[in-house]
Amino acid sequence: MNTSKEIEQRLLILKKLSSEAVNLDTHYTLATGELTKRVYLDSTASTLQLKVVHEVLEKYQPYYSNTHSESHFGAKLSTGEYQWAHQMVLDFVQADPEIYTAFFAGSGATSGLNRVASTLAERNPKRDVVITTVMEHHSNDLPHRKQFQEVIHIPAAMSTNSVGCVNLHRLEEALEEYSERVNYVAITGVSNVTGIINPIHEVAELAHRHGALVVIDAAQMAAHLPIRMSGNESPEQDLDVVVFSGHKIYAPGSPGVVITRKELFAEVEPQEIGGGVVDDVAINRYIITDKFPDREEAGTPNILGAIGLAAALYALQTVGMDLIAQEECRLINYALDKLKTVDNLVIYGETDCTKCQRTGAVSFNLKTLDHALVASVLNDYFNIAVRNHCFCAHPYVREMITQTLLEEADHLTEDELEKLAEMHRGMVRASFGIYSTEEHVDALTEALKHISANTSFYREHYQLLPCGNFRHKSFDFDHTQIFSIKGAVDQILNS
CA distance 416 to 412: 6
217 counts as binding ligand PLP under rule CB under 6 A: yes
State yes or no: residue 192 binds ligand PLP (CB under 6 A): yes
If the CB atoms of residues 393 and 451 are measured against ligand PLP, the closer one turns out to be 393
Nearer to ligand PLP, 205 or 217 (CB): 217
Query: What b/e string do you get for 335-360 counting C-beta neighbours within 10 Å, with b at 16 or more?
Result: bbebbeebeebbbbbbbeeeebbbbb
Binding segment for ligand PLP (CB under 6 A), chosen from 32-40, 104-112, 377-385, 450-458, is 104-112
Cβ closer to ligand PLP: 14 or 390?
Answer: 390
Cα separation, 357 vs 198, whole angstroms: 9
Shortest Å distance, C-beta 226 to ligand PLP? 17
Give least dist CB 192 to ligand PLP, A. 3
Would you count residue 388 as binding ligand PLP (CB under 6 A)?
Answer: no
Which residue from 219, 241, 374, 434 is in contact with ligand PLP, where contact means CB under 6 A? 219
Query: Which span (77-85, 214-222, 366-374, 454-462) binds ligand PLP, by CB under 6 A?
Result: 214-222
Query: For residue 13, which of 465, 318, 256 has the smallest C-alpha distance?
Result: 318
Question: Does residue 245 interact with ligand PLP by CB under 6 A?
Answer: yes
Q: Which residue is nearest to ligand PLP (CB)?
A: 108
Site stretch for ligand PLP (CB under 6 A), options 10-18, 47-55, 105-113, 380-388: 105-113
The nearer residue to ligand PLP, 193 or 310, going by C-beta atoms, is: 193
Cβ 287 to ligand PLP shortest distance, Å: 32
CB of 141 to ligand PLP, least distance (A): 9
Side-chain-side CA neighbours of 153 within 13 Å: the count stands at: 15
Please say which residue, 188 or 368, places its beta carbon nearer to ligand PLP. 188
Considering only residues 124 to 143 of the shown chain, the ones binding ligand PLP according to CB under 6 A are: 137, 139-140
Stretch that binds ligand PLP, among 66-74, 107-115, 382-390, 464-472 (CB under 6 A): 107-115
Closest separation in Å from C-beta 193 to ligand PLP: 9
Using CB under 6 A, which residues numbered 286 to 305 contact ligand PLP? none
Among candidate residues 329, 356, 390, 392, the one labeled active-site is 392
361 makes contact with ligand PLP (CB under 6 A):
no
Nearer to ligand PLP, 143 or 270 (CB): 143
Query: Phi then psi for 280, rounded to 5 degrees?
Result: -160, 145
Nearest distance from residue 255's CB to ligand PLP, in Å?
10
Q: What is the largest CA-CA distance in the chain?
A: 76
Number of residues that bind ligand PLP (CB under 6 A): 13
The residue within the footprint of ligand PLP, chosen from 110, 237, 260, 388 (CB under 6 A), is 110
- Annotated catalytic, 392? yes
- On the 0-12 / 13-18 / 19+ scale of CB atoms within 10 A, 202 is middle
Question: Of 141-180, which residues contact ligand PLP (CB under 6 A)?
Answer: none
Among 41, 85, 93, 109, binds ligand PLP (CB under 6 A): 109
Q: Which residues bind ligand PLP (CB under 6 A)?
A: 108-110, 137, 139-140, 188, 192, 217, 219-220, 245, 247
**Catalytic positions, please?**
392
